Amino acid sequence: MATINAPAGAAHARILGLGVYRPSRLVPNSEVVDAIDSSDEWIQQRSGIRTRRFASPEETVQMMSVAASRQALERAGITAAQVGCVVVATVSHLLQTPAIAPAIATELGTDHAAAFDISAACAGFCHAVALGSDMVRGGSARHVLVIGVERLSDITDMTDRGTAFIFADGAGAAVIGPSDVPGVGPVVWGSDGEQYDLIRQREDWRDVVGSDQEPGSGVMPHLTMQGNPVFRWASFTMAKVAQQALDAAGVSAEELDVFVPHQANMRIIDAMARSMKLPEHVRIGRDIADQGNTSAASIPLALDRMMLEGDARSGDTALLIAFGAGLAYAAQVVTVP
């Protein structure tokens, strides 16, 4: 029997650098209320959102990803040629195949890095961080670039009262690399397929281009969400997952400095914090008020804002947690880069 060489990875992994891209167009609630017969007050009460960012035609999924990635690489102090794998979490790259990751990897100038997309909706970034950490420690890549990016404005029905005011666009990227000490804790992840239809694409692609619609007709599948059931599920289930992630990392709530949840809804964020009984000193990311819900991009965008505003500092201990369509979820404790 032949002996197979086993890959040798790093003892530990950590986030070396973080980068983001926020689209230039700022969209206040006043621009979306008429189409959904709503008001600024109702939207803020319901979600906490005051404004959101929508991408221009030039701000594509690829363009935003490359911009965020270049910032992350610079902050990490490495070149694109040192990246061994690119993982892109998105649900708004509108080609089923090929993935957008290979195009991003090439534009960045990687040396033929492995590149692929994952579809875990709003939980995608946490999934990608887990994959990147495992690759670094497993030896399949020394540096992994993980990206969460969305152009949800492309797949949002602006007449849907339940979703038109929520979703937005943006990108965040992180470089995962080797470390002498643990910087990414064990991931706690899973899915609840019994809730599969709570957040979903409304139309099947076959229905869009089937017998009643010609290809190129301009009909676009849209996202739908059952808000109240999602709120009830997330507010309580995610608090349990958060505690499991803390326990897996061997970190108590008292030792936590920063809590960065997926920016789904301000009410959900607040309900999770209450359920977790977070100490008062723990600083909480609330980027959704000005950015909207950017799905896979929301956690890096929120963490970057906290770092810019001094609410998160390099070396802080942070808990990341997200949930999304499926319902897929993931959480891990990380050291802020």
122, 127, 222, 265: the catalytic one is 122
93, 126, 143, 293: the catalytic one is 293
Query: Radius of gyration (Cα) for the chain, nearest Å?
Result: 19
Strands in 158-286 per DSSP E: 169-179, 188-191, 199-201, 223-225, 258-261, 283-284
Distances (CA, A) of 3 to 6, 8, 141, 230: 9, 15, 22, 50
Nearest partner of 161 among 37, 295, 49, 53, judged by Cα = 37
| Residue the block writes with tokens 């404004």 | 51
Rounded to the nearest 5 percent, the helix, strand and coil shares of the chain are 40, 25, 40
126, 143, 262, 265: the catalytic one is 262
Strands in 70-198 per DSSP E: 85-89, 114-118, 144-151, 169-179, 188-191
Residue 262 bears catalytic tag: yes
Tokens standing for 57?
Answer: 């035609």
Distances (CA, A) of 236 to 229, 231, 233, 240, 241: 11, 9, 6, 7, 9
Residue 293 bears catalytic tag: yes
**Residues that are catalytic:** 122, 262, 293
